[in-house]
Amino acid sequence: MPADHAAPADGRDLEDIGRRAVEAAVAAGADDAEAWVERSWGREIRVYEGAVESLSEAGARGAGVRVFNGDSPGYAYGTDLSESGLAALARAAAGAAAVTDPDEHAGLPDECGAARVTELSSPDLAAWSTERKVSLALEVERAARTRPGVTQVEDTVYADSEECAAIVNSRGFAASYEATSAWAYASAFAGEGSDLMTGLGVGLGRAPEALDPEAIGGEAADRALALTGARQPGSRRCPVVLDAFVAASFVGFIGGMLSADAVQRGRSLFADREGEEIAAPALRLLDDGTHPDGFASAPFDGEGSPRRRTPLIEEGRLTSYLFDTRTARKAGRATTGSAVRSSYRSPPSVGTANLVIEPGDGDLEALVATARDGLFVTDVAGLHSGVNPISGSFSVGATGRLIEGGELGPPVREITIASDLVSMLRSVRAVGATARWVPFGGSVSAVPLLLGEMTVSGS
């Protein structure tokens, strides 16, 4: 690759671009302006049956400009970062602000800043050659494929990214950071025809060193093999153990409902429940925007407020919602540094950074033993269509194994589990001890959870 693409540009370069964009926006008549500039360089290696299927290597760049015309916001984004491109972006943002209605709570943060966050970027990533990364992907696939009973490994991917982001605003704030990430996953099949079951294995870290190909491939194989011969069981009401993947998916959904924006718009079942008991005392949940291992960590959020740790559920009580500047002003509170951007294409909105379920003290075997007779869920389908965000009632598809006499029993499929989120949170009986970071439900540090009785529908 050309040398100028070898690593993301220095943050100061992006800050300079941001400064020019902000100046152009002010010149175009904006009362306040903010620019978010990103540059990234990433690879994705896909292997299949022992050979490279595709290898992508590319850089991307772009900027988003947010302006305020009085209290009216406008946004524009683009990939042309030349002087004329930035001027066009500034004009487009000003034009957008001319059409929106004023919002007295909208505006730039009163105080910007950057938290001290370390270890977001690993120099080891750049030291790995493409060939070595290809080998790693092939090892992941081999680890899954060579397990007896695995009929095929459908998809194996290694990917990484080096990215740099900068924010600049018309109140004089400018900051930037760099982060690296590397991840790999494999999807394995066991069984054939209508008995085919699939399993996913994942690993993530700041550099490829953190990825254990045996563990990732092995996990994909083990999860598929554990489900071979799955049948639809009879309907029942029973305790349920969620594995870490599934717990993360549920917690991610709950995190979304704790956004002050959802709350203030009356779209969250947690509205007006701050301080209330909404969960069993065993469950502690927090959002940590500064955790070195969290993929969503950064010194500042999407509008330049410092990232931080925000306890969400403590001792079973709902301790706080997640706020950005606008929702905080509306509620008379302080921001929790929870303005997120999925990329330069979107203006900031309220969201979670890294959700952390505080580990308890039982391993998975202990949770299963305590459940005695119940259901162990390893996959859920249709979470986002199956949950009513306002009432919290849900019915989702599930796959897993029965728990019989305190041990894992036969695999089951084509079932639905139904409850409502608050009943579910209140029914948490035990929290697993071993946490891992998973990319489900956002970025979540997850553990298995033992829940009280739920409705399980089968045949």
Hey, which residues between 150 and 169 contact another protein (CB under 8 A)?
152, 154-155
Residues 6+ apart with CB under 8 A from 196: 151, 189, 190
In terms of Cα–Cα distance, which of 54, 20, 264, 7 is closest to 159? 54
Q: How far apart are CA 100 and CA 94, in angstroms?
A: 10
Identity of the residue, 1 or 334, whose beta carbon is nearer to another protein in the bound complex? 1
Q: Are 77 and 37 in contact (CB under 8 A)?
A: no
Identity of the residue, 67 or 435, whose beta carbon is nearer to another protein in the bound complex? 67
Q: How far apart are CA 37 and CA 60, in angstroms?
A: 11
* Only segment of 15-23, 52-60, 278-286, 312-320 that touches another protein (CB under 8 A): 52-60
Q: How far is the CB of 32 from another protein (least distance, A)?
A: 16
- Under the binding rule (CB under 8 A), the answer on residue 423 touching another protein is no
Element (H, E) at 78: strand 72-78
Element (H, E) at 174: strand 174-190
**DSSP symbols for 194-248:** GG-EEEEEEEEESSGGG--HHHHHHHHHHHHHTTTT-BPPPPEEEEEEE-HHHHH
Task: By CB under 8 A, name the one of 29, 113, 316, 397 that touches another protein.
Answer: 397
- Under the binding rule (CB under 8 A), the answer on residue 57 touching another protein is yes
Identity of the residue, 16 or 103, whose beta carbon is nearer to another protein in the bound complex? 103
Q: How far is the CB of 453 from another protein (least distance, A)?
A: 12
Q: How far is the CB of 314 from another protein (least distance, A)?
A: 27
Identity of the residue, 216 or 415, whose beta carbon is nearer to another protein in the bound complex? 415
Task: By CB under 8 A, name the one of 7, 26, 60, 114 that touches another protein.
Answer: 60
Identity of the residue, 96 or 285, whose beta carbon is nearer to another protein in the bound complex? 96
Which region holds residue 287: left if phi is over 0, alpha if psi is between -120 and 50, else beta?
beta
- Under the binding rule (CB under 8 A), the answer on residue 53 touching another protein is yes
Q: How far apart are CA 3 and CA 328, in angstroms?
A: 44
In terms of Cα–Cα distance, which of 277, 243, 288, 306 is closest to 112? 306
According to CB under 8 A, which residues from 63 to 92 bind another protein?
73-80, 88, 92
- Under the binding rule (CB under 8 A), the answer on residue 342 touching another protein is no
Q: Are 376 and 368 in contact (CB under 8 A)?
A: yes
According to CB under 8 A, which residues from 269 to 328 bind another protein?
none
* Only segment of 12-20, 328-336, 392-400, 438-446 that touches another protein (CB under 8 A): 392-400
Place of tokens 């931080």: 308
Q: How far is the CB of 318 from another protein (least distance, A)?
A: 19
In terms of Cα–Cα distance, which of 232, 223, 231, 194 is closest to 456? 232
Q: How far is the CB of 138 from another protein (least distance, A)?
A: 13
**DSSP symbols for 121-137:** --THHHHS-HHHHHHHH
- Under the binding rule (CB under 8 A), the answer on residue 347 touching another protein is yes
- Under the binding rule (CB under 8 A), the answer on residue 453 touching another protein is no
Q: How far is the CB of 459 from another protein (least distance, A)?
A: 8
According to CB under 8 A, which residues from 198 to 227 bind another protein?
198
Task: By CB under 8 A, name the one of 194, 272, 332, 405 that touches another protein.
Answer: 194
Residues 6+ apart with CB under 8 A from 316: 277, 278, 279, 280, 281, 282, 283, 426
Report how many residues bind another protein under the rule CB under 8 A: 73
Identity of the residue, 391 or 434, whose beta carbon is nearer to another protein in the bound complex? 391
For residue 186, give Cα distances in angstroms to 41, 171, 197, 257, 334: 23, 47, 14, 30, 42
- Under the binding rule (CB under 8 A), the answer on residue 413 touching another protein is yes
According to CB under 8 A, which residues from 116 to 135 bind another protein?
130
Q: How far is the CB of 282 from another protein (least distance, A)?
A: 26
- Under the binding rule (CB under 8 A), the answer on residue 197 touching another protein is yes
- Under the binding rule (CB under 8 A), the answer on residue 334 touching another protein is no
- CB neighbours (10 Å) of residue 235? 12
Residues 6+ apart with CB under 8 A from 281: 315, 316
For residue 296, give Cα distances in angstroms to 12, 172, 302, 308, 438: 21, 25, 11, 12, 12
- Under the binding rule (CB under 8 A), the answer on residue 56 touching another protein is yes
- Under the binding rule (CB under 8 A), the answer on residue 5 touching another protein is yes
Per-residue interface string for the shown chain with another protein, residues 359-388, x marking contact by CB under 8 A: ----------------------xx-xxx-x
Identity of the residue, 172 or 193, whose beta carbon is nearer to another protein in the bound complex? 193
- Under the binding rule (CB under 8 A), the answer on residue 345 touching another protein is yes
* Only segment of 251-259, 298-306, 362-370, 411-419 that touches another protein (CB under 8 A): 411-419
